[in-house]
Amino acid sequence: MFNKILTVCIGNICRSPSAERILQSLMPSKQISSAGLGALVDKGIEENAAKLLTDNNYNAENHKARQVSTEIITNADLILVMEKKHQQVLMQKYPSASGKIMLLGKWNSDEDIPDPYRKSTEAFEHAYKQIEINSKAWAQKLT
């Protein structure tokens, strides 16, 4: 059973915390957290990402970016990453976790969700829509 779900991106301030908050809202009985491969440790959710979450009635408060670690990977039942290259990096670094590392976009032709960091508002809106659609697809599969 997938009760502990981890979402992963690079900085842990845009995509993975957005996915974390949307999944928490969709599956409140599950423990959902996020981390980054190159986390901007202790930073909150990026301003544009936070606004999109808030505008869509999701909680953007009290996030602190954290770095992926062996403990975090080991504790997760399912790890959802934003891009195929994140999947490859994690599988190389944590081969024993390979079977539980999947793309957030798995149910939409294994689509990657591009990093909007330091890009336009449109880039954030595009990433947000992909994250929300894919999070809803996962919630349907897991509940």
CATH code for the domain in which residue 79 is found:
3.40.50.2300
Is the residue at 78 inside a domain?
yes
Provide the residue range defining the domain that includes 63: 4-137
**Each residue of 90-128: pLDDT tens digit?**
999 999 999 999 999 999 999 999 999 999 999 999 999
Q: Give the active site residue among 42, 77, 115, 118.
A: 115
93 inside domain? yes
State the total domains in the chain: 1
Cα separation of 7 and 79, whole Å? 6
Rounded Cα distance between 142 and 122, Å, is: 30
pLDDT at 20: 98
Task: Please confirm, yes or no, whether 15 is among the known catalytic residues.
Answer: yes
Q: Is residue 102 part of a domain?
A: yes
Residue 142 covered by a domain: no
Could you tell me which of 50, 43, 53, 39 has the C-alpha nearest to residue 7?
39
- Tell me the HSE value of 98 on the side-chain side, using a 13 A CA sphere: 6
Active-site option among 14, 15, 21, 66: 15
Q: Is residue 27 part of a domain?
A: yes
Task: Quote the CA–CA distance of 122 and 20 in Å, as a whole number.
Answer: 21
Residue 76 dihedral angles phi and psi, to the nearest 5°: -80, 140
pTM, two decimal places: 0.97
- pLDDT at position 143 is 87
> What six digits make up the tokens of 30?
């599950």
Tens of pLDDT, residues 30-59: 999 999 999 999 999 999 999 999 999 999
Asked if 14 is an active-site residue, the reply is: no
